[in-house]
């Protein structure tokens, strides 16, 4: 079963407006959760990670995400979008496979930023 769901395949915002990229996970425990970003023709880069230390996690480039156990969500936000934020964003969570856990990707959300 898919352990992480990204609800939107595309999100379109205007520069300077807030960004919300949604991610929900399914797990019987509080997992480690990650957001990665991929800019065109680049590799995947870690934006931020949650590992149970604090529910509000701050990442690079002004992004942050809040772990909400009651909602099983880990949505990514940014107060003000910049043109350089246009990229694809992936929520990653562990999925049990055999005797171990495998980092499993959501389907990705393309963020489009309009001038």
Q: Which residues in this chain contact another protein in the complex, by CB under 8 A?
A: 31-32, 34, 36, 41-46, 49, 51, 90, 92, 94, 97-98, 100-108
The residue among 98 and 115 lying less far from another protein, judged by its C-beta, is 98
φ/ψ of residue 108, rounded to 5: 95, 145
Q: Which residues are CB-neighbours of 33 under 8 A, at least 6 positions away?
A: 4, 23, 25, 49, 50, 65, 67, 74, 91, 92, 93
Q: Which of 24/94 has CB closer to another protein?
A: 94
Paired tokens of 102: 């495998």
Encoding tokens for residue 75? 């949505």
What minimum distance in Å lies between the beta carbon of 27 and another protein?
A: 11
Answer positive or negative: Cα dihedral of 60, 80, 104, 27: positive
Q: Given the complex with another protein, which of 42 and 115 has the nearer CB atom?
A: 42
Q: How far is the CB of 48 from another protein (least distance, A)?
A: 10
Q: Judged by CB, which is closer to another protein: 46, or 54?
A: 46
Shortest Cβ distance from residue 103 to another protein (Å)? 6
């Amino acid at each position: 079963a898919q352990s992480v769901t990204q609800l939107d395949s595309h999100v379109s915002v205007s520069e300077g407006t807030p960004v919300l990229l949604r991610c929900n996970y399914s797990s019987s425990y509080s997992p480690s959760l990650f957001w990665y970003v991929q800019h065109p023709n680049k590799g995947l880069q870690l934006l931020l990670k949650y590992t149970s230390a604090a529910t509000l996690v701050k990442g690079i480039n002004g992004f942050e995400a809040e772990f909400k156990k009651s909602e099983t969500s880990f949505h990514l936000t940014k107060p003000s979008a910049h043109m350089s934020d246009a990229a694809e964003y992936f929520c990653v969570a562990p999925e049990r496979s055999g005797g171990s856990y495998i980092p499993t990707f959501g389907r990705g959300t393309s963020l489009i930023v309009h001038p």
